[in-house]
Amino acid sequence: MASPLISAVNVSKSFAGRSLFKNLSLSLYDGERSGLLGPNGAGKSTLMGILARELDPDSGEVIAQKGVRVGYLQQTPKFAKGLDLLTALLGPDPEHNEKLSLAYEWLSRLELIQFGEYSEVSSLSGGWQKRLALACELIKEPKVLLLDEPTNHLDVSSILWLEEFLSESSMALLMITHDRLFLQRVCNCIFDLDPRNPDLFHRFDKDYISYLEEKDLMLQAQAQRFQASKNTLSREKEWLARGAKARQTKQKARIERAHELTEDVAFLKEKNRRLVASIEFSDSARVPKKLVDLKAVTCGYGEKILFKNFTYTLSGKARLGLLGDNGVGKSSFAKLLIGQLEPLAGTVDVSEKIQVAYFEQHKQTLREDLSVLRNVCSDGDYVHLQGQPIFAKSYLEKFLFRYDQMDLPVAKLSGGEKSRLRIAQLMLQDSNLLILDEPTNDLDVTTLDVLQQALLDFQGAVVLVTHDRYFLDQVTNEILAFEANAEGDAGVRIEKFQTYFQWEKWHADRPARDKAAAVAAKEAALTEKKSGKSRLSFKEKFELEGMEASIAKLEGEIKQLDQLVAKPENMSQATLLAESYAKMGQLQGDLEKMFARWQELTSRNEA
């Protein structure tokens, strides 16, 4: 077998006296695309930080092949204040950096160039900052790329692009992600860091689905071993209780074996223990048949139109998913449903019996300055769950909070812990409509499964915004997809689908559909021409005659610019590169418009 590109050898790490892992070894090989899985708190991000040499292990070492460059995309990218995009990529004095041309290439490929290379990073949304952080690592031209939750804050289109990019990449990859479809499509190897595993850390040279099957068999075998040991221990204890004298060698051996079995059973019991959050939403006593009725609604802010003339009825049993790129209006649509946003036109009729529990995307309802305990119980020691008093600390234990965490300010919690705390708040509310805006970010797979079942069991309506495609498909039975309109039309159009995969096929088939529509338009124009209803004017004929030459000229200008930016002597000239890439984008747009016009005139001119 080939030598590993990078290895962690017998590494151990503890935090605050708690051991995360001991003597753990891991190797990444050329061509491997690996997923690093495990429950929250198992130490996945810590292990990745050690591999990236951002953290030091307590013992052990990290060994890399000579010259191997390692890229590391952190879960939450951090940029210094005041940085612009180009400086974030290349550091100070980017105009004289030898990778200037490569920086512009990645700004273009990741569609960041639309903001301008001198735009401040702080002006970008979380999703675009994630793209920029990825560009910062890719510009290093790494041989190994470490990715901590790469799909968090990305919209579905970006996730689909990243899936394709990583699947075709020659880099060795190690990624932490809870996006199950992403794991299945990208990874060919799974590393599992789970306290329930026989040896804590296990490598599966399989895809994600095969890993799930093999791990289930492994845990079943461990559970059977636990039960067998437990039964044997019961028999040994019963024998000892009868008062057998420990004078003979055989009797001494049985007593020693009983002690060993006691330790073995205790060890296996701990291994098989599964900590799972307890999630169950409080249903309102009555759920109206119709919660919200939208009629010819136009939504937007000021002069910006998000969508227009949309009609929809949200029933009391709806399981509705909202899907689309960042900024298209999904969160605004959710706010329309509950009266937090007024339509620009049309009407929104909300039932008087509606009771809403709302999980905000940024969890702003949480008081970061207050403790975990005081966020669910403002005073006293008890909360009321479904009409029954329950000790507040016991309630928080259902969400896997330890006693030593309950007095910590919320600001000290991880993203997953904040999500669990916000869900804990919502469970204390009676509701017949749950609106969940990105509830799945930072939650591990086990908690996602519990949340999924809680939503399926909920008796009211659910409106879900999430980029976790598996979760979306399992929870919802109707999807509203927010899709960009044709050029020149304001806002987006909203398409209806039953499943995520139905949308994905529709989305993948768009180029073919657009081509078919162009052919249909051409045939309609021919029919119209034959009927004598449409002919080219003298001006249009003159335009068509000169169009091929104009198209060739534009293509030539684009080719010249492409050759210009590729010259070694120009790769360090920031102004020239910026102007050239901007000009290329403009010419490409002009070329597409001219080609569309050429097709239209040609189809009308054909006999």
> What distance in Å separates the CA atoms of residue 536 and residue 559, rounded to the nearest whole number?
32
The two tokens of residue 500 are: 């995520």
Residue 340 in this model has a pLDDT that exceeds 50: yes
Residue 159 shares a structural domain with residue 229: no
Share of the chain above pLDDT 90, in %: 26
Residue 297 shares a structural domain with residue 445: yes
Q: Is 1 domain-assigned?
A: no
Whether 465 contacts 199, CB under 8 Å:
no
Question: What residues are paired with 292 via a beta bridge?
Answer: 314, 350
Residue 597 shares a structural domain with residue 559: yes
Residue 299 shares a structural domain with residue 446: yes
Residue 514 in this model has a pLDDT that exceeds 80: no
Q: How far is Cα of residue 21 from the mean position of the Cα atoms in its chain? A: 26
Residue 151 shares a structural domain with residue 267: no
* CATH code at position 457: 3.40.50.300
Residue 287 shares a structural domain with residue 198: no
Average pLDDT over residues 280-296: 80
Residue 134 shares a structural domain with residue 179: yes
Q: 266-277 pLDDT, tens per residue?
A: 555 655 565 566
Residues spanned by the domain of 188: 6-213
Average pLDDT over residues 125-132: 85
Domain-terminating residue out of 471, 490, 507? 507
Residue 227 shares a structural domain with residue 268: yes
Q: What is the pLDDT of residue 490?
A: 64
Whether 292 contacts 337, CB under 8 Å:
yes
Nearest Cα to Cα of residue 75 among 49, 106, 101: 49
Nearest Cα to Cα of residue 292 among 478, 166, 433: 433
Nearest Cα to Cα of residue 71 among 128, 11, 134: 134
Phi-psi region of 148 (alpha: psi -120 to 50; beta: other; left: phi over 0): beta
Q: Is 277 domain-assigned?
A: no
Whether 464 contacts 320, CB under 8 Å:
yes
Q: What is the mean pLDDT of the chain?
A: 82
* 3 state DSSP class of 428: coil
Whether 197 contacts 69, CB under 8 Å:
no
pTM over 0.75: no
CA dihedral 178, 181, 187, 190 (to 10 degrees): 50
Residue 581 in this model has a pLDDT that exceeds 90: no
Phi, psi for residue 95 in degrees, rounded to 5: -60, -25
Q: Is 88 domain-assigned?
A: yes
Q: Is 45 domain-assigned?
A: yes
Residue 305 in this model has a pLDDT that exceeds 50: yes
Phi-psi region of 442 (alpha: psi -120 to 50; beta: other; left: phi over 0): left
Residue 172 shares a structural domain with residue 119: yes
Domain-terminating residue out of 507, 535, 551? 507
What does each C-alpha distance from 220 to 138, 217, 271 come to in angstroms?
41, 5, 12
Longest dimension (CA), the chain: 118
Residue 387 in this model has a pLDDT that exceeds 60: yes
Domain-terminating residue out of 213, 229, 251? 213
DSSP secondary structure string, 272-291?
Answer: H--------PEEPS---SEE
What does each C-alpha distance from 312 to 7, 213, 309, 502 come to in angstroms?
55, 41, 10, 20
Q: 137-175 pLDDT, tens per residue?
A: 999 999 999 999 898 878 888 889 899 999 999 999 999
Instruction: Give the total number of structural domains in the chain.
Output: 4
Phi-psi region of 160 (alpha: psi -120 to 50; beta: other; left: phi over 0): alpha
Question: What residues are paired with 204 via a beta bridge?
Answer: 190
Number of Cα atoms under 13 Å in the Cβ half of residue 111: 8
Residues across the chain: 607
Per-residue pLDDT band for 379 (boundaries 50, 70, 90) equals confident
Residue 342 shares a structural domain with residue 286: yes
Residue 116 shares a structural domain with residue 168: yes
* CATH code at position 580: 1.10.287
Residue 346 shares a structural domain with residue 402: yes
Residue 247 in this model has a pLDDT that exceeds 50: no
